[in-house]
Structure 1
Amino acid sequence: MELQKNKVCGIDVHKRFLIATILFRDGKKDTQRFSVTLEDLLKFRDWVIENGCEQVAIESTGIYWHPVHSVLEGKIDLIVANSYKIKHTPGRKTDVGDSEWIAELCLNGMIEPSRIFPKDDRELRRLTRAREGYVKQMTQEKNKIHQSLDSACIKLASVISDIFGKSGCIS
């Protein structure tokens, strides 16, 4: 059984700002709004640490959680929660209400953390995915050139084995 926490922080993150609620076991709350500039994120981190939060929970909304994760990584226990699994009841929602809801789920140990790869692995995955994208774009462009040449009745394949290889280079 997971140990109960006494003080946690729930974050509702958006493109330009985040709403954070520190929730105490006795029900006391402290909510603040921060922009997502580096300066404000560092103020947010300091605020969380100064208040002695045991854990921070954030909803994995698009890519907006990445800067918050980067600032808090290694400083405090952070849970990135799957948005689908922590949805609140339908109806009138507010940013403050959402951050309080996330904090309440965190306080009671009801959030299953998303899998976040270690920093080195994340960087390798980012580079690998970027390379895959570049190779795909290059292949698409080569296919367009082949198609344009074929539609213009320029049949280089009968003369050159690969127009983009050594035999296709003009020296």
Structure 2
Amino acid sequence: MDVLRTHCVGLDVHKKTVVAAVRVPQPKKKVGWQVITQTFGTMTADLLTLSDWLLTQGVIHAALKSTGEYWKPVYNILEANFELLLVNAQHIKAVPGRKINVNDAQWLAELLKHGLLNASFVPPVG
């Protein structure tokens, strides 16, 4: 399968935590991917730390699962620095090929890497 995005992250957003799974090429290798998973809080300071961490990882593209209202603060903080894709949770479950032991953030990153996600509409602020 073709790789469309090489530096991406899947974000599984919950009420009190955001699980980030960064998927980047293996350093100093021509083949393979490195997945780095980290959990952050949802307070503004935590989300700014998340943004800084993603920048240090070289992330360009991010996919967020749209569950309830919890995605909004994450989206608002990250939209200035990253190309964001808000994705319907039902769409993610419908994509075939998911391994049972892969968490949602890692699965989002994998689908984003291959361009297999459909963006939800996010109305402009104002």
Q: How does 1:88-107 map to 2 (within 5 A)?
A: 97-107=103-113
Q: Which has a greater percent of strand? A: 2
The residue type equivalent to 1:60 in the other structure is: S
The residue type equivalent to 2:80 in the other structure is: G
**Cα offset for 1:50?**
1.6
Q: How does 1:53-72 map to 2 (within 5 A)?
A: 53-72=59-78
What's the TM-score once normalised by structure 2's chain length?
A: 0.84
**Cα offset for 1:93?**
6.7
**Cα offset for 1:117?**
1.1
SS of corresponding position for 2:22: strand
Decide whether the 8 Å contact of 2:3 with 2:114 is kept in 1: no
Counterpart for residue 116 of structure 2: 110
What's the TM-score once normalised by structure 1's chain length?
A: 0.63
Counterpart for residue 8 of structure 2: 8
Equivalenced residue count is 117
**Relative contact order (alpha carbons < 8 A, sep ≥ 6): 1 or 2 greater?**
2
Q: Which has a greater percent of helix? A: 1
Q: Identity, % of aligned pairs?
A: 33
The reply on whether 1:83 has 2:86 as its aligned counterpart is no
Deviation string 1:3-51 (CA, Å, 9 cap, x unpaired) is: 8111100011110001100012432111100010111100001111121
The whole-number CA distance in structure 1 between the counterparts of 2:3 and 2:23 is: 16
Moved over 4 A (4+): none
Counterpart for residue 49 of structure 2: 43
The residue type equivalent to 2:23 in the other structure is: L
Question: Which of 1 and 2 has greater Rg?
Answer: 1
Aligned pair in 2 of structure 1 residues 11, 51: CA closer, same or farther (>3 Å)?
Answer: same
The whole-number CA distance in structure 2 between the counterparts of 1:73 and 1:102 is: 17
Counterpart for residue 140 of structure 1: none
Q: Which runs of 5+ in 2 are unaligned?
A: 26-31
User: What is the alpha-carbon root mean square deviation over aligned residues?
Assistant: 2.3
Decide whether the 8 Å contact of 2:3 with 2:113 is kept in 1: no
Aligned pair in 2 of structure 1 residues 103, 3: CA closer, same or farther (>3 Å)?
Answer: closer
